[in-house]
Amino acid sequence: MRQGSFQWMKSVNKSIILNKIRKDGPISRAQIARETKLTPPTVSSNVKELIDQKIVEESDFGESLGGRKPTMLVINDQAFTIIGVDAGPEHIECIVADLAGKVLKRSQTTLDLPINSEQFLAALKRGIGECLDETSGREENIIGIGVAMHGVVDVERGVSLNAPILGLANIPIKEELEQAFGLEVKVENDARAMALGEYWFGNHGELESMLAVNVGRGVGAGLIIDGKLYHGFSDIAGEIGHMTIDLHGEICECGNRGCLQTFVTGPAIARKVTNRGAANPLTAETVYKLAVGGNRQFADILKESGQAMGVGLTNLIHIVNPEKIVLGGGVSKAEQFILPAIRETIQASALTPSASRTQVEVTKLGDDATLIGAITLLLVDLFELK
């Protein structure tokens, strides 16, 4: 599907109807009309167009209430696909997914570091190209490309302003990819993309607000308020890794002392182990495995990281008061050590009993959480009103 060609779906009424079917399907035309306040003829005409365009289909799930059995409507999840990209910092992973978030194909491209912007863009195009090769013959069914990128992103222009782990800045991702592939491209910070994917596909129910935190080589967060991503005035909302929690702590790569990410990231955990006398350098993954195997010192280090994360999350609870916090990223896999420590710290430190009971859990989307978030960038544009 060439760039902009799905705008036939984007009238106000179509967006209302599509989102209603997405959330509540199988659903009848009459129920859509009642619950959206659109007139039955308006619903019928728009539904006919959506069926003709194959994004909506009729199903046999309706039950008779004494009269004729109603014809029910559902989203045709297999009608279109989306390319999702988790870009860096060590490799580029791409998926092809349907409208229900089911992964159909995937590819992975390892980055040869250090890397410059041109090499990064070339690797990005190569990974996407491999996914497109897998969809040969169905190119017209591709809605677009969603890219989840670490660091600071200018969402409107689709530019990576600062990718600190790669040491790159001002990468024109949207422009380059749209020119290369002729598809709609959306670019978002990886943690915010993950938050959006969690909100849509994480089975969290109806939430007014949710905070998703991605803890790996860095720490980032995405905040959902009233179903929408919050970006802040200059697109840096969610950079919680640089929240100061110890004025006398280690110097962070940003130049400040005691940032959250000096306590809780994979490299920070590995550094703590080294500082406490480990004979050989270890990765955070190895630290976790040895802790599971019974190494009490390593288990305590992971618990300390959980306590530090609990301090940071308590600060955020006091500022934005989300209904739920979801953790993702590589460090979250050590949940048996860090999650109890996080919850205990919040319970001990939050100002009110209700705040102390804020739900904190680990993503159920696993390693694909950010990739699912990347495809959701296009789904939001397709289904929801702007």
Q: Is the pLDDT of residue 4 over 80?
A: no
Percentage of the chain modeled with pLDDT above 90: 70
Q: What is the mean pLDDT of residues 175-180?
A: 96
Instruction: Write the single-letter amino acid at 305.
Output: S
For every residue of 147-185, DSSP letters joined together read EEESSEEETTTTEEEEETTTTEEEE-HHHHHHHHH-SEE
* Residue where a domain stops, chosen among 75, 92, 121: 75
Look at residue 168 and tell me if it is in a domain. yes
Q: Is the pLDDT of residue 10 over 60?
A: no
Look at residue 349 and tell me if it is in a domain. yes
* pLDDT for position 254: 83
Look at residue 1 and tell me if it is in a domain. no
* Mean pLDDT rounded to a whole number for the chain: 89
Q: Is the pLDDT of residue 67 over 60?
A: no
Q: Is the pLDDT of residue 45 over 60?
A: yes
Specify whether 44 is located in the same domain as 91: no
Specify whether 153 is located in the same domain as 39: no
Q: φ and ψ at 22, to 5 degrees?
A: -60, -45
pTM: 0.88
Specify whether 227 is located in the same domain as 345: yes
Quote the domain boundaries for residue 71. Answer: 7-75
* pLDDT for position 161: 94
Strands (E), 76-141: 81-87, 91-98, 103-110
Q: Dig out the tokens for 218 from the structure.
A: 């860095």
Q: φ and ψ at 156, to 5 degrees?
A: -65, -40
Look at residue 57 and tell me if it is in a domain. yes
> Confidence band (pLDDT; 50, 70, 90) for 371?
very high
Count of structural domains within the chain = 3
Measured in Å, how far apart are the chain's first and last C-alpha atoms?
A: 21
Look at residue 200 and tell me if it is in a domain. no
pLDDT in tens, 268-325: 999 988 888 776 788 899 999 999 999 999 999 999 999 999 999 999 999 999 999 9
* pLDDT for position 62: 52
Specify whether 185 is located in the same domain as 243: no
* pLDDT for position 332: 93
Q: Whole-angstrom Cα distance, residue 303 to residue 324?
A: 21
Look at residue 2 and tell me if it is in a domain. no
Nearest Cα to 151, choosing from 92, 215, 243, 219?
219
Nearest Cα to 340, choosing from 302, 378, 295, 382?
302
* pLDDT for position 177: 97
Q: Is the pLDDT of residue 110 over 80?
A: yes
Q: Is the pLDDT of residue 71 over 90?
A: no
Nearest Cα to 103, choosing from 112, 111, 113, 93?
93
Specify whether 87 is located in the same domain as 70: no
* pLDDT for position 25: 86
Specify whether 137 is located in the same domain as 273: no
CATH code, domain with 26: 1.10.10.10
Report how far apart, in Å, the C-alpha atoms of 374 and of each of 85, 97, 110, 254, 267 are: 6, 10, 19, 26, 25
Contacts of 99 (CB under 8 A, 6+ apart): 55, 75, 76, 77, 78, 79, 80, 81, 82, 379
Look at residue 107 and tell me if it is in a domain. yes
Specify whether 99 is located in the same domain as 134: yes
Specify whether 184 is located in the same domain as 106: yes
Q: Are 124 and 185 in contact (CB under 8 A)?
A: no
Cα 66 to the chain's mean position, in Å?
44
Q: Whole-angstrom Cα distance, residue 358 to residue 360?
A: 6
Specify whether 236 is located in the same domain as 356: yes
Specify whether 14 is located in the same domain as 162: no
Q: Which residue has the higher pLDDT, 2 or 206?
A: 206
Specify whether 137 is located in the same domain as 178: yes
Report how far apart, in Å, the C-alpha atoms of 237 and of each of 114, 151, 165 are: 28, 11, 18
Specify whether 50 is located in the same domain as 188: no
CATH code, domain with 268: 3.30.420.40
Look at residue 201 and tell me if it is in a domain. no
